[in-house]
A = this chain, B = another copy of it.
């Protein structure tokens, strides 16, 4: 088995080796651009790790990993258009650099590129892998749709929110792990267990994101702490606070939504989070998802020692500070 670091290198090298057509250059340059912006490569690494659980060399799963990473980056291009986001990993987003129409079309052709990677898989697993990929891609689109709709609503429940982040974020983690298992030659049961691990781990990962936005170390976080608070983003923390807040605290909270003194707004809402112990509640919810994830992983019918690398990666991602 490879180490996490080796798997990351494997992915980076494979991405650098991809040769997109030279023309039309404006169609393909944005693909190289976003694919090489970096990032943690969490999904493809998890996919490769998943394949290696079943005594398969990660190199055999590299096309599946590229499919998942390409699809993920395609969704980033289109999401950034929809969210009107100027920056991605500190750089101009594709629609800022090449215009919205180009960003739509480069995203479209990336979806084709993702499918081309998948089509390189062995015939014996192709249908199974495609089915997994299609279900995953569909879920991600549904999640983005719900995310957009929730921005227009003030009555989103915690259950709806968890379902949204499940679709938008966690389904892709689950799908990546299942795809790795399929390529690795896992039984259908083990592939499903790894899907369950990935999906629930993905929910925990996103909840940790919500927590870090408020409670992250400003030096290590890499983004502005309180960014979600400034934009009134309906995270688990805000939705939980809205569920619990009462009387004068409710009046205070509602008065803050339109506060343009951002340091004061962050301080005021963070105080409310502290007062209502929202951080503990979010950590509990995160741990609940993690427990489900690790229970699913336990069920995977392989030597326990082979799971260590995956467990370590998962724990380090949850304990991350950015």
Among candidates B81, B108, B123, B137, residue contacting A126 with C-beta atoms closer than 8 Å = B123
Complex contact B105–A134 (CB within 8 A): no
Instruction: Give the number of times this chain occurs in the complex, counting copies.
Output: 2
CB distance B27 to A141 under 8 Å? yes
* Neighbour of A111 across the interface among B111, B148, B149, CB < 8 A: B111
**In the docked arrangement, what's the CA distance between A103 and B268, Å?**
38
Q: Which residues of B contact A81 (CB under 8 A)?
A: 101, 104
Instruction: Assess whether B112 is in contact with A134, with CB atoms less than 8 Å apart.
Output: yes
Given A26-B145, A27-B145, A126-B123, answer yes or no on A82-B105 (Cβ-Cβ < 8 Å). Answer: yes
Q: Quick check: is A271 within 8 A (CB to CB) of the other chain?
A: no
Known A-B contacts A78-B104, A82-B101, A104-B78; A112 and B130 likewise in contact (beta carbons under 8 Å): no
Interface string of A175-190 (1 = CB under 8 A from B): 0000000000000000
CA distance A82 to B105 in the complex (A): 9
CA distance A101 to B27 in the complex (A): 20
Residues on A lying within 8 angstroms of B by beta carbon are 21, 24, 26-27, 78, 81-82, 101-102, 104-105, 107-109, 111-113, 115-116, 118-119, 123, 126-127, 130-131, 134, 137-138, 141-142, 144-146, 148-149
